[in-house]
Structure 1
Amino acid sequence: MFAISLGDDGAELRPLEPHHAEEFFASMDRGRDYIGRFIPLPDFAKDVAGARAYLQGYADKAARDAGRTYGIWQDGTLVGGVLFRTMDTAMGTAEAGCWLEPSAAGRGLVTRAARIIIDWAVEERGIHRVDWLVAAGNTGSINVAERLGMTHEGTLRGNYVYRGVRHDTQVWSVLAPEWRAARAK
């Protein structure tokens, strides 16, 4: 389909589709504990069939224009991804998110990839507001939101139970005029 370079370090962004199920499962397996600290994504990809079903769900969302997922490949290996968990073009809203293997953390891959998909959502799809919801303990994801120039709007206290532990969720967002102004600098 397409591949967009994320810089000169061999990283690229591509659509993540059902035919990538084996690669997606392998990535989840390599980063299962790290990725699964705050999000249930590894729980959906316990095997190749589960990985395929998860990716098919996003293919179906893309067909309905209700969400999308993209992979981050580093030197030909899938190591993470960015996504629109939800997208409502009529309302002009989307919720972005990410996942990344620990071996790829700390290189700015998610930030660079998220910039590309947010640019697309704002400029091509007319999205006015992009949300970034993150467990309060997930400092890596919070750092991405900050680097993207998002505003921390508040914290939903104790609203999310994951693996038997109650978490706070931070709400970050950026509005299209803010995004455009920051990109113009």
Structure 2
Amino acid sequence: MFTHRIDSATYMKLLEQQDSEKLFQLIDSSREHLRQWLPWVDQNTTVEHSRQFIQRTLEQFAANNGFTAGIWYQGALAGVIGFHKIDWENRSTSLGYWLGEDYTGLGLMQKAVSKSLDYAFLELRLNRVEIRSAIGNVRSRRIPEKLGFTHEGTIRQAEKLVYGFVNHNVYGMLLEEWEEKENSKTEDDEAQG
């Protein structure tokens, strides 16, 4: 089973059917917060919808087409992160994520994205990971910017949200860039140790 420890209070693990109610409760308690940036929120109105979503993500993982994991913080489901799908021919994927409103501002997502990049580059040996974020979604944009992704451009009217179409910023990270960043971090740690 896919489980990755992030820190002493936080880990990622595949969502399982037994998590359906917790997932639905997290979505429902953060509905207004999430609706602003996630077009699927209004279609998830029952525990059964969450159960169906989890089933699709388990099938995705079984097909070796990426993962969707819950982010668990202090024993509670705080959010979701995962690869949309993996293009094995080009060794690339895109990453999506969200947190329940009560879990924002704790640094959880930056750590979860970093751990997901380790998995993508070091375990799966992918060459490229992309993150797209609505231009107005400042918190989401900060994640790839802080992790050293390259802003590669803007896609106009890329997604229809409840209030209309929004432009997306596209951020990319390459395997060689992640390895260079990780090597630099290791050298800094050794110099301080």
CA deviation profile, 1:52-85 (whole Å, cap 9, x unmatched): 1111111111122223111111111101121101
Name structure 1 gaps, 5 residues minimum: none
Specify the alignment match of 1:99 in structure 2. Answer: 98
Specify the alignment match of 1:14 in structure 2. Answer: 13
1:78 maps onto 2:80 in alignment: no
Specify the alignment match of 1:153 in structure 2. Answer: 152
CA deviation profile, 1:139-179 (whole Å, cap 9, x unmatched): 11100011221111011122322225010011011000001
Question: Secondary structure of the equivalent of 1:6?
Answer: strand
C-alpha distance 123-44 of structure 1, shift in aligned 2 (>3 A): farther
Specify the alignment match of 1:173 in structure 2. Answer: 172
Letter in 1 for 2:7: G
Specify the alignment match of 2:4 in structure 1. Answer: 4
CA deviation profile, 1:120-139 (whole Å, cap 9, x unmatched): 11111121010001111111
RMSD: 1.5
- TM-score, normalised to structure 1, is 0.93
Name structure 2 gaps, 5 residues minimum: 185-193
8 Å CA contact retained: 2:39, 2:160: no
Question: Secondary structure of the equivalent of 2:136?
Answer: coil
Q: Distance in 1 between matches of 2:84 and 2:3?
A: 21
8 Å CA contact retained: 1:12, 1:72: yes
* Greater radius of gyration (CA): 2
- TM-score, normalised to structure 2, is 0.89
Q: Distance in 2 between matches of 1:4 and 1:161?
A: 33
C-alpha distance 125-4 of structure 1, shift in aligned 2 (>3 A): closer
Letter in 1 for 2:154: T
Q: How many residue pairs end up in the alignment? A: 184
Percent of residue pairs identical: 29
Q: Distance in 2 between matches of 1:2 and 1:59?
A: 11
Specify the alignment match of 2:131 in structure 1. Answer: 132
CA deviation profile, 1:11-48 (whole Å, cap 9, x unmatched): 22221223311111011111111122111242343111
Which deviates more from structure 2 when the two are superposed, residues 14-23 or residues 175-184?
A: 14-23
Q: Which runs of 4+ in 1 moved over 4 A?
A: none
Question: Secondary structure of the equivalent of 1:96?
Answer: strand
